[in-house]
Amino acid sequence: MGGRLQGRTAIVTGSARGIGTAIARALAREGARVVGVDVLDDLGRSVAAAIDAEAPAGAGCAYLHCDVSNEEEVRSVVAGVRAAHGRIDILVNNAAVQKEALAADVTVADFHRIVDTNLLGCVLFCREVLPAMVAAGSGAIVNMSSVNAFSADPLLPVYGATKAAIIGYTKSVAIAYGRHGIRANAICPGDVDTELNRAFWEAHPDPAGFRANVEAQYPVRRIASTDEIARVAVFLASDDASFVSGTEVVVDGAITARIYEL
Protein backbone atom coordinates (compact mmCIF):
# COMPACT_ATOMS: atom_id res chain seq x y z
CA MET A 1 0.00 0.00 0.00
CA GLY A 2 1.42 3.39 -1.00
CA GLY A 3 2.12 6.25 1.33
CA ARG A 4 0.69 9.74 1.28
CA LEU A 5 3.36 10.91 -1.17
CA GLN A 6 3.45 7.93 -3.52
CA GLY A 7 4.78 8.84 -6.95
CA ARG A 8 5.79 12.38 -6.04
CA THR A 9 9.21 13.92 -6.47
CA ALA A 10 10.73 16.08 -3.75
CA ILE A 11 13.83 18.24 -3.34
CA VAL A 12 15.16 18.76 0.19
CA THR A 13 17.98 21.24 0.78
CA GLY A 14 20.43 20.79 3.63
CA SER A 15 19.74 17.05 3.59
CA ALA A 16 23.09 15.82 4.92
CA ARG A 17 22.23 16.10 8.60
CA GLY A 18 19.76 17.18 11.24
CA ILE A 19 16.28 18.27 10.27
CA GLY A 20 17.06 17.92 6.56
CA THR A 21 17.97 14.26 6.93
CA ALA A 22 14.85 13.56 8.98
CA ILE A 23 12.63 15.26 6.41
CA ALA A 24 14.23 13.43 3.48
CA ARG A 25 13.76 10.11 5.28
CA ALA A 26 10.14 10.88 6.23
CA LEU A 27 9.21 11.92 2.69
CA ALA A 28 10.77 8.76 1.24
CA ARG A 29 8.93 6.58 3.77
CA GLU A 30 5.69 8.11 2.52
CA GLY A 31 6.54 7.08 -1.05
CA ALA A 32 8.32 10.12 -2.48
CA ARG A 33 11.34 10.07 -4.74
CA VAL A 34 13.60 12.43 -2.82
CA VAL A 35 16.61 14.34 -4.08
CA GLY A 36 18.67 15.70 -1.21
CA VAL A 37 21.12 18.52 -1.80
CA ASP A 38 23.92 19.86 0.37
CA VAL A 39 27.57 20.90 0.27
CA LEU A 40 28.64 18.14 2.69
CA ASP A 41 29.07 15.65 -0.11
CA ASP A 42 30.46 12.57 1.67
CA LEU A 43 27.86 12.79 4.43
CA GLY A 44 25.11 13.69 1.98
CA ARG A 45 25.80 10.66 -0.21
CA SER A 46 25.97 8.35 2.80
CA VAL A 47 22.69 9.63 4.22
CA ALA A 48 20.95 9.37 0.85
CA ALA A 49 22.15 5.80 0.37
CA ALA A 50 20.84 4.80 3.80
CA ILE A 51 17.45 6.39 3.14
CA ASP A 52 17.28 4.81 -0.30
CA ALA A 53 18.02 1.36 1.10
CA GLU A 54 15.06 1.47 3.47
CA ALA A 55 12.59 3.26 1.17
CA PRO A 56 9.49 1.38 -0.03
CA ALA A 57 9.09 0.27 -3.63
CA GLY A 58 8.75 3.20 -6.01
CA ALA A 59 10.34 5.62 -3.56
CA GLY A 60 13.97 6.41 -2.82
CA CYS A 61 16.59 9.04 -2.20
CA ALA A 62 19.44 10.40 -4.31
CA TYR A 63 22.00 13.08 -3.56
CA LEU A 64 23.31 16.05 -5.55
CA HIS A 65 25.90 18.62 -4.58
CA CYS A 66 24.51 22.14 -4.45
CA ASP A 67 25.50 25.40 -2.84
CA VAL A 68 22.03 26.88 -2.42
CA SER A 69 23.41 30.41 -2.75
CA ASN A 70 24.90 29.65 -6.17
CA GLU A 71 22.41 30.54 -8.89
CA GLU A 72 23.90 28.28 -11.55
CA GLU A 73 24.15 25.27 -9.24
CA VAL A 74 20.54 25.66 -8.14
CA ARG A 75 19.37 25.99 -11.74
CA SER A 76 21.37 22.89 -12.74
CA VAL A 77 20.00 20.77 -9.88
CA VAL A 78 16.39 21.69 -10.58
CA ALA A 79 16.78 21.10 -14.32
CA GLY A 80 18.40 17.73 -13.63
CA VAL A 81 15.65 16.61 -11.26
CA ARG A 82 12.97 17.68 -13.70
CA ALA A 83 14.70 15.87 -16.57
CA ALA A 84 15.16 12.68 -14.52
CA HIS A 85 11.68 12.51 -12.99
CA GLY A 86 9.54 14.66 -15.26
CA ARG A 87 8.11 16.66 -12.39
CA ILE A 88 8.83 18.37 -9.07
CA ASP A 89 5.97 18.10 -6.61
CA ILE A 90 7.57 19.10 -3.32
CA LEU A 91 10.30 21.53 -2.33
CA VAL A 92 11.63 21.76 1.21
CA ASN A 93 13.98 24.70 1.77
CA ASN A 94 15.84 23.64 4.90
CA ALA A 95 19.49 24.63 4.31
CA ALA A 96 20.64 27.27 6.79
CA VAL A 97 23.64 28.56 8.71
CA GLN A 98 23.99 30.75 11.76
CA LYS A 99 26.80 32.69 13.43
CA GLU A 100 26.57 34.02 16.93
CA ALA A 101 27.39 37.71 17.31
CA LEU A 102 25.86 40.78 18.89
CA ALA A 103 24.46 43.27 16.39
CA ALA A 104 27.43 45.58 16.90
CA ASP A 105 29.85 42.78 16.02
CA VAL A 106 28.30 41.37 12.82
CA THR A 107 30.80 41.33 9.96
CA VAL A 108 29.84 41.93 6.35
CA ALA A 109 31.22 38.50 5.44
CA ASP A 110 29.07 36.77 8.05
CA PHE A 111 26.02 38.81 7.00
CA HIS A 112 26.34 37.67 3.39
CA ARG A 113 26.99 34.04 4.33
CA ILE A 114 23.87 33.88 6.51
CA VAL A 115 21.60 35.83 4.16
CA ASP A 116 22.84 34.09 1.02
CA THR A 117 22.33 30.61 2.46
CA ASN A 118 19.16 31.09 4.47
CA LEU A 119 17.19 33.57 2.37
CA LEU A 120 18.71 33.71 -1.11
CA GLY A 121 18.88 29.91 -1.25
CA CYS A 122 15.17 29.73 -0.49
CA VAL A 123 14.37 32.35 -3.13
CA LEU A 124 16.51 30.68 -5.80
CA PHE A 125 15.07 27.21 -5.31
CA CYS A 126 11.51 28.52 -5.29
CA ARG A 127 12.15 30.51 -8.43
CA GLU A 128 13.52 27.50 -10.25
CA VAL A 129 10.88 24.93 -9.22
CA LEU A 130 7.83 27.15 -9.67
CA PRO A 131 7.65 26.79 -13.48
CA ALA A 132 7.52 22.98 -13.14
CA MET A 133 4.81 23.24 -10.50
CA VAL A 134 2.81 25.71 -12.57
CA ALA A 135 3.03 23.36 -15.55
CA ALA A 136 1.74 20.49 -13.41
CA GLY A 137 -0.96 22.60 -11.80
CA SER A 138 0.10 21.54 -8.32
CA GLY A 139 2.94 21.70 -5.84
CA ALA A 140 3.84 22.06 -2.18
CA ILE A 141 6.63 24.30 -0.89
CA VAL A 142 7.78 24.05 2.71
CA ASN A 143 10.24 26.71 3.88
CA MET A 144 12.04 26.27 7.16
CA SER A 145 11.77 29.37 9.34
CA SER A 146 12.24 29.50 13.12
CA VAL A 147 10.75 30.87 16.30
CA ASN A 148 13.65 33.32 16.02
CA ALA A 149 11.55 35.02 13.35
CA PHE A 150 9.42 36.57 16.08
CA SER A 151 11.21 35.79 19.37
CA ALA A 152 14.66 37.31 19.24
CA ASP A 153 17.96 35.80 20.31
CA PRO A 154 20.42 38.63 21.06
CA LEU A 155 23.28 36.64 19.53
CA LEU A 156 21.45 35.79 16.30
CA PRO A 157 20.28 39.12 14.84
CA VAL A 158 20.94 38.30 11.19
CA TYR A 159 19.77 34.69 11.46
CA GLY A 160 16.51 35.87 13.02
CA ALA A 161 16.10 38.49 10.31
CA THR A 162 16.41 35.86 7.58
CA LYS A 163 13.86 33.63 9.29
CA ALA A 164 11.39 36.53 9.54
CA ALA A 165 11.97 37.32 5.88
CA ILE A 166 11.26 33.70 4.94
CA ILE A 167 7.80 33.96 6.48
CA GLY A 168 7.01 37.08 4.46
CA TYR A 169 8.40 35.52 1.30
CA THR A 170 6.41 32.32 1.83
CA LYS A 171 3.15 34.26 2.14
CA SER A 172 3.89 36.12 -1.10
CA VAL A 173 4.52 32.86 -2.98
CA ALA A 174 1.33 31.34 -1.58
CA ILE A 175 -0.75 34.33 -2.69
CA ALA A 176 0.79 34.60 -6.15
CA TYR A 177 0.71 30.91 -7.06
CA GLY A 178 -2.35 29.57 -5.26
CA ARG A 179 -4.35 29.88 -8.47
CA HIS A 180 -1.96 27.33 -10.00
CA GLY A 181 -2.64 24.74 -7.31
CA ILE A 182 0.59 25.53 -5.45
CA ARG A 183 0.73 25.80 -1.68
CA ALA A 184 3.54 27.42 0.32
CA ASN A 185 3.98 27.25 4.07
CA ALA A 186 6.72 27.79 6.65
CA ILE A 187 7.67 25.77 9.71
CA CYS A 188 8.95 27.60 12.81
CA PRO A 189 10.71 25.15 15.14
CA GLY A 190 12.02 25.92 18.57
CA ASP A 191 15.17 24.14 19.74
CA VAL A 192 15.70 20.80 18.02
CA ASP A 193 18.06 17.97 18.98
CA THR A 194 20.47 18.27 16.07
CA GLU A 195 24.21 17.88 15.63
CA LEU A 196 24.59 21.67 15.56
CA ASN A 197 22.70 22.15 18.82
CA ARG A 198 24.67 19.38 20.50
CA ALA A 199 27.94 20.98 19.38
CA PHE A 200 26.72 24.30 20.79
CA TRP A 201 26.07 22.70 24.17
CA GLU A 202 29.38 20.84 24.15
CA ALA A 203 31.18 24.18 23.84
CA HIS A 204 30.01 25.09 27.35
CA PRO A 205 31.88 24.09 30.54
CA ASP A 206 28.88 22.01 31.71
CA PRO A 207 27.17 20.71 28.54
CA ALA A 208 24.63 18.52 30.36
CA GLY A 209 23.73 21.27 32.79
CA PHE A 210 23.40 23.84 30.04
CA ARG A 211 21.13 21.60 27.99
CA ALA A 212 19.03 20.84 31.07
CA ASN A 213 18.64 24.55 31.67
CA VAL A 214 17.50 25.11 28.08
CA GLU A 215 15.00 22.27 28.26
CA ALA A 216 13.65 23.56 31.57
CA GLN A 217 12.60 26.75 29.79
CA TYR A 218 10.13 24.77 27.68
CA PRO A 219 6.66 24.13 29.16
CA VAL A 220 6.93 20.54 27.89
CA ARG A 221 10.36 20.30 29.58
CA ARG A 222 12.24 19.09 26.53
CA ILE A 223 13.27 20.14 23.05
CA ALA A 224 12.03 18.63 19.79
CA SER A 225 13.41 15.64 17.96
CA THR A 226 14.16 15.99 14.27
CA ASP A 227 11.44 13.44 13.53
CA GLU A 228 8.84 15.68 15.15
CA ILE A 229 9.71 18.48 12.73
CA ALA A 230 9.82 16.04 9.81
CA ARG A 231 6.29 14.83 10.51
CA VAL A 232 5.02 18.40 10.20
CA ALA A 233 6.85 18.76 6.89
CA VAL A 234 5.23 15.57 5.58
CA PHE A 235 1.80 16.86 6.60
CA LEU A 236 2.34 20.18 4.80
CA ALA A 237 3.65 18.40 1.70
CA SER A 238 0.72 15.99 1.57
CA ASP A 239 -2.92 16.27 0.54
CA ASP A 240 -3.81 16.22 4.24
CA ALA A 241 -2.87 19.91 4.14
CA SER A 242 -4.72 20.64 0.90
CA PHE A 243 -6.26 23.87 2.26
CA VAL A 244 -3.26 24.96 4.32
CA SER A 245 -1.27 27.67 2.56
CA GLY A 246 0.39 30.98 3.28
CA THR A 247 0.92 30.32 6.96
CA GLU A 248 3.63 29.53 9.46
CA VAL A 249 3.30 26.44 11.65
CA VAL A 250 4.94 26.92 15.04
CA VAL A 251 6.45 23.71 16.44
CA ASP A 252 8.01 24.86 19.68
CA GLY A 253 6.60 23.00 22.68
CA ALA A 254 4.76 26.19 23.71
CA ILE A 255 7.91 28.15 24.56
CA THR A 256 6.73 31.25 22.69
CA ALA A 257 3.22 31.03 24.12
CA ARG A 258 4.08 32.32 27.60
CA ILE A 259 5.30 35.61 29.03
CA TYR A 260 7.37 34.23 31.91
CA GLU A 261 7.34 31.48 34.51
CA LEU A 262 7.47 32.10 38.25
Per the domain annotation, does 257 fall within a domain? no
- Residue 122 sits in the same domain as residue 200: no
Give the integer Cα–Cα distance in Å for 31 and 1.
Answer: 10
Active site residues: 159
Identify whether residues 88 and 125 lie together within a single domain. yes
Q: Residue 23: what pLDDT?
A: 98
Same domain flag for 117 and 147: yes
Per-residue pLDDT of the chain in tens (262 residues, 90 and over written 9): 469 999 999 999 999 999 999 999 999 999 999 999 999 999 999 999 999 999 999 999 999 999 999 999 999 999 999 999 999 999 999 999 999 999 999 999 999 999 999 999 999 999 999 999 999 999 999 999 999 999 999 999 999 999 999 999 999 999 999 999 999 999 999 999 998 888 888 888 999 999 999 999 999 999 999 999 999 999 999 999 999 999 999 999 999 998 877 7
- Give me the domain span that covers residue 114: 9-189+226-250
Domain count for the chain, please give it: 2
Residue 27 lies in a domain: yes
Same domain as 60, residue 41: yes
219 shares its domain with 122: no
- Residue 98 has, within 13 A of its CA and on its CB side, a CA count of 20
Dihedral of the alpha carbons of 122, 127, 169, 143, in degrees to the nearest 10: -40
Nearest-angstrom CA–CA distance, 202 and 208: 8
Contact 164, 208 (CB under 8 A): no
State whether 120 and 139 are in the same domain: yes
Same domain, 97 and 213: no
Element (H, E) at 249: strand 248-251
Residue 40, classified by CB atoms within 10 Å of its CB into exposed (0-12), middle (13-18) or buried (19+), is: middle
Domain co-membership, 196 together with 141? no
- The residue among 92, 83, 106 whose CA lies nearest residue 19 is 92
Residue 262 lies in a domain: no
Q: What is the dihedral of CA 62, 65, 68, 72, to 10 degrees?
A: -110
Task: Let me know if residue 61 belongs to a domain.
Answer: yes
86 domain residue, yes or no: yes
pTM: 0.96
Instruction: Report the candidate in 78, 116, 120, 241 with the shortest Cα–Cα distance to residue 174.
Output: 241
Say whether both 48 and 136 belong to one domain.
yes
CATH of the domain at 36: 3.40.50.720
45-64 exposure pattern, b = at least 16 Cβ within 10 A, e = fewer: bebbeebbeebeeebbbbbb
